[in-house]
Amino acid sequence: MLQPVGVGHKSLADYTHLVGRPLIEEIRQLVDDLNGLRVLHLSATAFGGGVSEILYTLVPLMHDVGLEAEWQVMIGREEFFHATKLLHNALQGNPVDLSREEWHVYERFNEINAQQVTGEWDVIIVHDPQPLAIRRHAEARAKHWIWRCHIDMSAPNEPTLERIVPLIEEYDGSVYHLEQYVPANLDGRGPTHILPPAIDPLSPKNMALSPEDAAFVCDQFGIDVDRPLLCQVSRFDPWKDPLGVIDAYRLVNEEMPEVQLALVGSMATDDPEGWEFFNSTLEYAGGDPDIKILNNLNNVGSIEVNAFQSQAEVVIQKSMREGFGLTVSEALWKARPFIGGEVGGIPLQVQDGKTGFLVRSPEECADRALRFLREPELGKQLGRAGKEHVRQNFLSPRLLRDWLRVFSGLK
């Protein structure tokens, strides 16, 4: 069988004081006609990326409001995840397509996993390209199939896109973060929906952490809490540009030698390149004792990520491609001075000069970081605006509401 994921319990009512009663009441009204709807989420991994971050909250909230929601993870081997990493990169703009053998591996594992789909569902939501081909081998398992894209497909490798568009077109609908991610040549039988993701403000990663607790945690990892800290939280992936962040840190360091940098990430089971790039990032840091490069195998979990983001004078997400970037909303929710790459879903969250800064180079990143470090009141002002922007737009109940609207529109 596909691997079921245990998600625990969450109560929508607990979010009322954060998102407001009108949104909670709208959700209750929407679910009146959907009570008992059977919904299955399918994804490639249960930890280490934004999809799992979202589903650990979305699935229990769906269950709490009366849907029969479950989450299952597909089974794969190294050759499959190697192929799907190439697929992921190609759809985000890498000019290298999968070979004939790699496409064969992709199709074979999708067919194997399709045979493991059990039960009868009203809606199956397939997350990202890894399990995209499951539907054609298991169509009868659900009345409706929806594909949920979490990556930046604004400038994909065209031969790769041509291979997956026919798969998308078989679905009853598809969902994207931004309009520009929808393939131009898509002619599916179902509608496309634009649903930006959201963070859980009550999760250990985002709940309020006192300055004393944040400092205590950071101290355990060798951070000098009396000196300024720059921090980026993300996968170790070339698209996240940790090497560019190191370049920006070095420029800042020339003018402020006391500054420190923390690069914090998690290693995901569906990302075989992660360790290779983690090691190359370590090498690029050149043994600088003020650059801390940490991952979940160094005992860095949700509370630790919270502490690093909360303690940092400047939080960075200098991506070169980014589907959305949940770490952006996480940092803004903590009212931190923020700098992000001007790509993908980051500008949706960061209004340049109002809730943070958008940059396109290490030099720009260093310049904005120095400005924040020299003008702490500016950081506080933009941080407060960023928190309110996230409260209004990027918290989990809003995403639940949007999914209920999608379900209501199914014929």
- Rounded to the nearest angstrom, the gap between the alpha carbon of residue 42 and the centroid of all alpha carbons in its chain is 16
Q: Which of 111, 120, 122, 117 is nearest to 167 (CA)?
A: 111
262 falls within a domain = yes
Specify whether 283 is located in the same domain as 322.
yes
205 falls within a domain = no
**Rounded CA separation 317/321 (Å):** 11
Specify whether 260 is located in the same domain as 183.
no
In b/e form, how buried is each residue of 207-226, taking b as 16+ CB within 10 angstroms? eebeeeebbebbeebebeee
The per-residue pLDDT for range 219-257, each reduced to its tens digit, is 999 999 999 999 999 988 889 999 999 999 999 999 999
CB-based burial label for 140 (10 Å; 0-12, 13-18, 19+): exposed
| Average pLDDT of span 89-114 | 96
pLDDT of residue 382: 98
pLDDT of residue 184: 87
160 falls within a domain = yes
Number of C-beta neighbours around residue 105 at 10 A: 19
Specify whether 193 is located in the same domain as 304.
no
Specify whether 248 is located in the same domain as 176.
no
| Average pLDDT of span 400-405 | 98
260 residue type, one letter: Q
86 falls within a domain = yes
204 falls within a domain = no
**Rounded CA separation 76/2 (Å):** 10
pLDDT of residue 269: 58
Specify whether 183 is located in the same domain as 85.
yes
Residue 272 has pLDDT above 80, yes or no: no
User: What CATH number does the domain containing 188 carry?
Assistant: 3.40.50.2000
The per-residue pLDDT for range 21-56, each reduced to its tens digit, is 999 999 999 999 998 999 999 999 887 678 999 999
| Average pLDDT of span 61-79 | 96
Q: What is the SS3 assignment for 173?
A: strand
Least confident of 70-84, 262-276, 336-350: 262-276
Specify whether 387 is located in the same domain as 399.
no
Range of the domain at 120: 3-198+395-408
98 falls within a domain = yes
Residue 388 has pLDDT above 70, yes or no: yes
- For the entire predicted model, the pTM comes to 0.93
pLDDT of residue 268: 63
**Tokens 């980026």 appear where?**
232
The per-residue pLDDT for range 292-330, each reduced to its tens digit, is 999 877 789 999 999 999 999 999 999 999 999 999 999
What is the number of domains present in the chain? 2
pLDDT of residue 191: 92
pLDDT of residue 314: 98
301 falls within a domain = yes
206 falls within a domain = no
